[in-house]
Structure 1
Amino acid sequence: MNLKGKTILITGGASGIGFEAAKQFLEIGAKVIVTGRNQDKLNDAKKRFPNLTVIKSDVSKAEDAKALFKKVSELGGIDILYNNAGVGVPPMNLGIPNEKHIENAAYEMEVNYLGVIRLNNLFLEMLNSKKDAAIINTTSILSYVPSLTEATYSATKTALAFYTKSLREHLRIIKSNIKIFELLPPVVDTEMTAARTDKKITPAELVKALISGLQKDQYTIRVGDSKIIYFLHRFFPKLAFGLVNPKNSEQSLKK
């Protein structure tokens, strides 16, 4: 896929992976629109890269999604929708009753899964009108093996992975020209993982691999340890589970 000249909408694009993606897409000649919930972060992103178009929007809110679609349409539309926005909650022991369990699960599901479907439904017709269009969904290494400390987050990413594969096939059957990409990051060094001490890759490394995969029409883009865990979970599931969930993760649930 040729990315130069394409207009790309990145959700959660004011910081972390989304901001790095905006930076690298601009560098190769794409036009970039980023969204986020934090206006200060959006303002900072715009200050650092004046060519960015920034729009405040929360993917978990239906009214925000509709308003975003209207603004993007007024700007001339997009060629690529990059569903990057995601949230995670602090570790909790699901074996101990807590009112926060359902609240946290609903929050993560609303942003990480339902928010993606909401935006895809809004933008599919627009993307179908383009000769070379794409949707990028960010799942996770945890869509293969669940994390004990990120149980509902893992569940949302697994749901999104299955949805992504199904959407790709549905569009193939109806002969749509929209390409569906799945990005599977390992642990990435962002604000969300700041407290973690395990192995991480930088957002720059992840986005570089993403762009390479897009340019090669590689629809499933596994990066770093995601490649290893993909293999291990198929043939050595217990080993894969142990690598994702070392003993110190069990200790964190007891605190």
Structure 2
Amino acid sequence: MELKGKTVLITGGTAGIGLEATKQFLANGAKVIITGRNQDKLDAAKKMYPAVVAIKSDAANESDAQSLFNKIKELGGIDILYNNAGVVSPPLNLGVANNKHIEGATYEINVNYLGVIRLNNLFMEMLKARKEGAIINTTSILSLVPSVIEPTYSASKVALHFYTETLRKHLQILKSNVKVFELLPPVVATEMTADRENKKISPENLVKELILGLKKDKYIIRVGDSKLLYFINRLSPKIAFGLVNQNRTKI
């Protein structure tokens, strides 16, 4: 896929993976629009990268999504929709009755899964009208094997994983020119994982792999430990589960 001259929308583009993706897409000659919920962070990103268009928008909010679509349509549209925004709830023990279970699951599903479907539906016809359009959905290493302390987050990413696979197949059946990519990161060094001692990959290296995969039309982009875990899980799900959840016997 050619990136130069393309316009890409990156949700959750004010920090971490999204901000790094902004930097690297710009470096590859793309035009970038970012969204985020925090206006101060949007302003800071805009100051860092003046060429960026920054729009305040909540990935979980239906009216925000419609407003975002209207604004982007006025700007001339996009070629690539990068569904990067994601949230994770505090560690949960599902074996202990707690109202936090449903609250966390609702929050994660609304952002990590339903928010993606909503934006894809809104932008689908726009992307189909482009000579070469694309959707990028970020799932997770936990869409392969669940984490015992992030059960509902894992479930939201599994849902997105299967949705992404079937969306790609449906568009292929329709002979659409919209390509559907899935990015499966391992643990990434961001604010979301700051309190964890796991082995982490930098946002810079993750996005380098993403850009390379896009250019090669590699629809499933497993990065770092996600590559190894994929094969281990195929041979022995029990070993894979143990690797993901080692040192997590206490919830």
Partner of 1:13: 13
Over residues 170-229 of structure 1, what are the superposed CA-to-partner deviations in whole Å (9 max), with x where a residue is unaligned?
001111110000000000000000000010000000000000000000000000000001
Alignment of 1:24-63 (within 5 A): 24-63=24-63
Per the normalisation by structure 1, the TM-score is 0.98
Partner of 1:232: 232
Partner of 2:208: 208
Partner of 1:189: 189
Query: Using the alignment, how far apart are the partners of 1:160 and 1:204 within structure 2?
Result: 24
Identity, % of aligned positions: 68
Query: Using the alignment, how far apart are the partners of 1:45 and 1:249 within structure 2?
Result: 36
Partner of 2:165: 165
Q: How many residue pairs are counted as aligned between the two chains?
A: 251
Where 1:186 maps in the other structure, the secondary structure is coil
State the Cα distance separating 1:249 from its structure 2 match: 1.4
Where 2:34 maps in the other structure, the secondary structure is strand
State the Cα distance separating 1:92 from its structure 2 match: 1.5
Query: Using the alignment, how far apart are the partners of 1:196 and 1:94 within structure 2?
Result: 21
State the Cα distance separating 1:60 from its structure 2 match: 0.4
Alignment of 1:47-86 (within 5 A): 47-86=47-86
The runs of 5 or more residues in structure 2 that have no matched partner are none
Kindly provide the amino acid, as one letter, of the partner of residue 40 in structure 2: D
Partner of 2:174: 174
Over residues 9-47 of structure 1, what are the superposed CA-to-partner deviations in whole Å (9 max), with x where a residue is unaligned?
000000010000000000111000000001110000000
Query: Using the alignment, how far apart are the partners of 2:10 and 2:161 within structure 1?
Result: 18
Where 1:51 maps in the other structure, the secondary structure is coil
Partner of 2:248: 249
Kindly provide the amino acid, as one letter, of the partner of residue 58 in structure 1: D
Where 1:180 maps in the other structure, the secondary structure is strand
Partner of 1:105: 105
Partner of 1:96: 96
Where 2:32 maps in the other structure, the secondary structure is strand
State the Cα distance separating 1:110 from its structure 2 match: 0.3
Query: Using the alignment, how far apart are the partners of 1:109 and 1:177 within structure 2?
Result: 28
Kindly provide the amino acid, as one letter, of the partner of residue 43 in structure 2: N
Per the normalisation by structure 2, the TM-score is 0.99
Query: Using the alignment, how far apart are the partners of 1:87 and 1:116 within structure 2?
Result: 12
Over residues 109-158 of structure 1, what are the superposed CA-to-partner deviations in whole Å (9 max), with x where a residue is unaligned?
00000000000000000000001010000000100100001100000000
Where 2:248 maps in the other structure, the secondary structure is helix
Partner of 1:141: 141
Q: RMSD of aligned C-alpha atoms?
A: 0.5
Alignment of 1:116-135 (within 5 A): 116-135=116-135
Where 1:249 maps in the other structure, the secondary structure is coil
Kindly provide the amino acid, as one letter, of the partner of residue 205 in structure 1: N
4+ runs deviating over 4 angstroms: none
